[in-house]
Amino acid sequence: MSIERDLNKRSGSKCELCGATENLKVYQVLPTKKGGIDESILACSTCIDQIENSDNVDLNHWRCLNDSMWSEHTPVQVVAWRMLSRLRSAGWPQELLDQMYLDEDTLAWAQATGEGEDDENKVIHRDSNGVILEHGDSVVLIKDLKVKGSSIVAKQGTAVRNIRLDHENAEYIEGKVDGQQIVIITQYVKKI
């Protein structure tokens, strides 16, 4: 069975966050170890857009977390915790967070992206021009880079899309170059 079919069955063909029935997609909850249904949710395009682009967040849309935070499915709990943490300054999300319980492993997964940390403790990734990089951004290489452990040379001007951030080191990001996932040092990239 495909992941999408399994998620549709699990969710009743509804967004596992807000309950919408239109424009549903599989959303992988990062960081993943194996992928699959245990690390994914079925979410509508509105939720996914607001998860990935914090500038587009509509606070009232996320009142749906009052229900979905109680989901029995771990990836739904993780996303609910992350969004409540992001929005906690509005008051009501903090009240919901105070009610929420996650076991140690689930909480570690939820915190793995840096969501919920105080701004002073957050690792901030910046490109060669000092522009802040976020998960999912696209960057371009500003110099040729030899990839350690292989014969690949990532050429200057290569676009790397949908980057992932290393949440322990502000100088490292991950992305695919020539179909291979590599670690790239932020001083050699420019945000597109």
Please check whether residue 75 is in contact with residue 28, taking contact to mean a CB–CB distance below 8 angstroms: no
The pLDDT value recorded for residue 120 is 57
Rounded distance between C-alpha atoms, residue 162 and residue 135, angstroms:
7
| Mean per-residue pLDDT of the chain | 90
Judged against a pLDDT cut of 80, whether residue 115 lies above it is answered with no
The pLDDT value recorded for residue 117 is 61
Judged against a pLDDT cut of 90, whether residue 60 lies above it is answered with yes
C-alpha dihedral, 7 to 165 to 142 to 132, nearest 10°: 110
- Give tens-digit pLDDT for 71-111: 999 999 999 999 999 998 889 999 999 999 999 999 999 98
Rounded distance between C-alpha atoms, residue 89 and residue 191, angstroms:
29
Nearest C-alpha neighbor of 128 from the set 43, 186, 53? 186
Rounded distance between C-alpha atoms, residue 157 and residue 120, angstroms:
33
Rounded distance between C-alpha atoms, residue 147 and residue 7, angstroms:
37
C-alpha dihedral, 7 to 75 to 51 to 82, nearest 10°: 160
Please check whether residue 139 is in contact with residue 192, taking contact to mean a CB–CB distance below 8 angstroms: yes
Give 149 or 17, the one with higher predicted confidence: 17
- Give tens-digit pLDDT for 30-44: 888 888 999 999 999
Q: Phi, psi at residue 147, to the nearest 5°?
A: -90, 120
Confidence of residue 122 (pLDDT cuts 50, 70, 90): low
Nearest C-alpha neighbor of 38 from the set 109, 111, 136, 115? 109
The strand pairing partners of 126, in sequence order, are 132
Output the six-digit token pair for 67.
């229900």
